[in-house]
Structure 1
């Protein structure tokens, strides 16, 4: 036996688990050579499949998280977390109820409102809107509205007969600050001939853009006293909206509220009003996660097929390794290293690509819109004016861990088949 053969034999016999010898053999098999180029092509496709699967999962989960957070912020930035409505008696004590509600622990503010549906029109168009009557001091504390004023101001809002409208509504009606709009309701003044419709013109004092097209096209704000007169609510409010510090702790808030407010009221919260919406969003996220996981599973099948073909191609090499002293465990670990290497490299590449895409998703959307001269994310369909993405480290960790487990599991069967080869039978047919 030559010196080199003896060295290989002693290395094979004395090497421990996952030793340098096993890594050397595994890396040699991973190299693309002319004889086994087809196997390397399959390994390349496995790598690409895992990379794209991981990247897609990270991007999709980040977008769904972004949708959830943005919609929650937009909805809760203009709507309250809890809604108090009077029963049995008219809601004329709304100021007292709002004051008691604000004293409940965890409440940031409580705003009395008069809400009602109306029609709005100009010479350029008309639409249906939801009119909200609020006091100037209250609307100034609503960051979702006053923090997004595009034109005009809420200063002196209580003094004049004016309204504030959303930017999309202003565009549809063709109006700007200072122009007038007409509001119409079916139930106006009582006359000898019945109830007559009420129509009144108001000056546009401010235009806001919340960033959620559904709200920017529907909400109209007017002074509380004017709304009470317009909707025939004599010193009444229709609802008191409460904004809390922690929207997830609504049960504790409601228990404290019942102790603070003794008059008969009905309390609903954001979970009841938006339950179907957010539940649907979560179901869509789960379904997309399952569907996109199939990309990783398909890539794992490519690992199985690639390793199986590699085992068949390297049958003689495996038999020689066994003959010179390599154990079944060593052969098993060699092919586990090959499959795991494809999985680990593909996962790392997908992780980096997914994070890069998720962090720059809206910039990519803008670039594609300019390049293709198209609108890939129309606000009127998706409610939001931008494409949000929030990377959740826990979800990314779960995706990476899941992919690595799938890749390692996919490598077990071909590696076991390689370790089970009988060297005598393998060499007899050569």
Structure 2
């Protein structure tokens, strides 16, 4: 009953338009003697809707995946790093103070934090378990200004790292692989050894596990350990040097500009890099994958849209007598052309709008739908030991939706050009001869 009322309402609205539009709208409806054309029209609508929906959902997932990776990587890594050209950065406190004292209009107002770090490799052992790790020596209070590790602590506190106490904070997956908990003691072996009569012996030190963090990115959760800066400098014999300074910006997309300003301010004795250089290939690969997926799925929309061609060609053949009668009643070829353009456009618009609504609805609820599918069918789409993240994020960008909708409608209109031109060029006398 509702469908009847809706159809009647649409008929009244369309009847207020020029007769070409009204007849084109009527042609999209079911035919009394040729339901096959209506079936082809329906499949064209469904194909366009599915293609548009798939495009919106996939691009939203790609956008969310890119943003989530960027946030997780830069929550542990740094926006900008300042290092010396030699093995370490001497007089780092003076350089740190120099960066903080830069004019507010140029750089310092964009910098939220500056912290020193020591970066080295090591091997952790506990009982019979052995794991290679990346060791980062930090100052806990200053580290909180350049990374999100303080807020990602699963157990313990980052401030538990005290100089001379030889405490250590481990990633959650690293702690699980070693089988350690808070309060256990692990042995850290540094590859830089010392020469003894028995040969080269690696430096070994026992550390107390005082914290476990989990950032949700397997690369860091399974391979990063934090110790105090003083303990790292002592174990790796850095002296008063550090590996460099890590900077966090108020706007991470200003990293390239700020790094250039730092090069000019600090002079040629320092090496300045930002996250766009350190992870450039990774994010370019994601962007390239997004473009390729757009092209592939756009072809699905194109195939569905060009089904309209076959629909309209059959409709023109089926409506030969109608076209001839309309021509004899004074309809111009342009009016006949518009009838079939409207018919094809209605198929494209209805399919596009339906697909866009379904795609937006699914993209906004992807983080609810995917876990439900995983629980229902007992599957896991993203294993965290294989992929960088284990959740399927989504970020809907209305600019993408607008581009997809515009592309689908344009393809639908292009598909109407040949059939409508064929209908407009039909000779009324020839059409009536066979009917």
TM over 0.5: yes
Matched position secondary structure for 1:379: coil
Aligned to 2:25: 27
Aligned to 1:50: 48
Aligned to 2:158: 154
State the 1:89 CA deviation: 7.9
Cα distance in structure 1, aligned partners of 2:87 and 2:319? 87
Cα distance in structure 1, aligned partners of 2:272 and 2:129? 37
The 8 Å contact of residues 148 and 210 in structure 1, kept in 2 or not, is answered as yes
State the 1:96 CA deviation: 1.4
Cα distance in structure 2, aligned partners of 1:422 and 1:55? 41
Cα distance in structure 1, aligned partners of 2:182 and 2:324? 85
The 8 Å contact of residues 136 and 227 in structure 2, kept in 1 or not, is answered as yes
State the 1:362 CA deviation: 1.8
State the 1:376 CA deviation: 1.4
Tell me which moved more, 259-268 or 66-75.
Answer: 259-268
Aligned to 2:346: 341
The 8 Å contact of residues 188 and 207 in structure 2, kept in 1 or not, is answered as yes
Which residue of 96, 99, 107 corresponds with 1:98? 96
Which residue of 371, 374, 381 corresponds with 1:376? 381
The 8 Å contact of residues 74 and 147 in structure 2, kept in 1 or not, is answered as no
Tell me which moved more, 265-274 or 401-410.
Answer: 265-274
Tell me, yes or no, if structure 1 residue 128 matches structure 2 residue 126. no
Which residue of 116, 123, 139 corresponds with 1:119? 123
Matched position secondary structure for 1:267: strand
**Could you list the per-position Cα deviations for residues 102-137 of structure 1 after superposition, in whole angstroms to 9, with x for gaps in the alignment?**
334221111111100111222263221110000121
Matched position secondary structure for 1:266: strand
Aligned to 1:13: none
Matched position secondary structure for 1:108: strand
State the 1:165 CA deviation: 1.2
Tell me which moved more, 138-147 or 383-392.
Answer: 138-147
Tell me, yes or no, if structure 1 residue 68 matches structure 2 residue 66. yes
State the 1:193 CA deviation: 4.4
State the 1:251 CA deviation: 4.0
Aligned to 1:428: 433
The 8 Å contact of residues 119 and 135 in structure 2, kept in 1 or not, is answered as yes
Q: Could you list the runs of 5+ residues in structure 2 that have no partner in the other structure?
A: 1-14
Tell me, yes or no, if structure 1 residue 59 matches structure 2 residue 64. no
Tell me, yes or no, if structure 1 residue 415 matches structure 2 residue 415. no
Tell me, yes or no, if structure 1 residue 163 matches structure 2 residue 161. no
Cα distance in structure 1, aligned partners of 2:47 and 2:139? 58
The 8 Å contact of residues 161 and 226 in structure 1, kept in 2 or not, is answered as yes
Cα distance in structure 2, aligned partners of 1:429 and 1:158? 97
**Could you list the per-position Cα deviations for residues 65-97 of structure 1 after superposition, in whole angstroms to 9, with x for gaps in the alignment?**
111111111111111122211125852211111
State the 1:143 CA deviation: 4.6
> What is the TM-score with the length of structure 1 in the denominator?
0.92
Cα distance in structure 2, aligned partners of 1:103 and 1:420? 78
Matched position secondary structure for 1:131: strand
Cα distance in structure 2, aligned partners of 1:89 and 1:211? 32
Tell me, yes or no, if structure 1 residue 140 matches structure 2 residue 144. yes
Cα distance in structure 1, aligned partners of 2:170 and 2:274? 25
**Could you list the per-position Cα deviations for residues 339-377 of structure 1 after superposition, in whole angstroms to 9, with x for gaps in the alignment?**
111111111111111111111112111111111111112
The 8 Å contact of residues 149 and 207 in structure 1, kept in 2 or not, is answered as yes
Aligned to 1:38: 36
Report how many residues are paired: 415
Q: How does 1:325-404 map to 2 (within 5 A)?
A: 325-404=330-409
Q: How does 1:174-323 map to 2 (within 5 A)?
A: 174-262=179-267, 264-323=269-328
The 8 Å contact of residues 54 and 399 in structure 1, kept in 2 or not, is answered as yes
The 8 Å contact of residues 131 and 219 in structure 1, kept in 2 or not, is answered as yes
State the 1:99 CA deviation: 2.1
Cα distance in structure 1, aligned partners of 2:233 and 2:394? 41
Cα distance in structure 2, aligned partners of 1:274 and 1:370? 34
Cα distance in structure 2, aligned partners of 1:75 and 1:220? 15
**Could you list the per-position Cα deviations for residues 142-171 of structure 1 after superposition, in whole angstroms to 9, with x for gaps in the alignment?**
452111111111234224321111112122
Cα distance in structure 2, aligned partners of 1:324 and 1:125? 91
Structure 1 residue ranges, 4+ long, deviating more than 4 angstroms after superposition: none
Aligned to 2:7: none
The 8 Å contact of residues 63 and 388 in structure 1, kept in 2 or not, is answered as yes
Q: Could you list the runs of 5+ residues in structure 1 that have no partner in the other structure?
A: 1-16
